[in-house]
Amino acid sequence: MALRAAVLQHVRVPVQTLNPALTLTGGKWTSPSLRWMSSHGDDHLTKSEVTDRVLSVVKSFPKVDPSTVTPDVNFQKDLGLDSLDNVEIVIALEEEFKLEIPDLEAVRIDSANLAIEYIYNHPMAS
């Protein structure tokens, strides 16, 4: 502790209080070149891309007849899958879109339409 105090007495660190990228415009500090709270720029997936990829994952599931898969298909009612198959499809979707779906959300995804909406609205889907 004494060493720290001794060093701090002799060290001068320049402090800059304002971000040089900020400019004073109309009495307010603005930064037109910065985008706040953006996780990954403008590369968010379109709904069409999400739909195509979700349907592709569902069609590639071994127990599914690809000709019966539509955006409105329910995994259990229309495709005859059980809850374990539903979990496997959600895991396949997580891998396809490189995201993690929390368990509480995953159990609610029981149709292609819900999967499409969830993934399309997820900020980290890629």
Per-residue pLDDT tens digits for 77-92: 999 999 999 999 999 9
CATH architecture of the domain formed by 47-121: Orthogonal Bundle (1.10)
Q: Domain residue spans in the chain?
A: 47-121
Which residues of the chain fall short of a pLDDT of 50? 18, 33-40
pTM: 0.66
Give the single-character DSSP code of 92.
H
82 catalytically annotated: yes
8 Å CB contact between 31 and 21: yes
- Residue of 43, 72, 82, 110 marked catalytic: 82
Of 88, 97, 100, 110, whose CA–CA distance to 54 is shortest? 97
85 three-class SS = helix
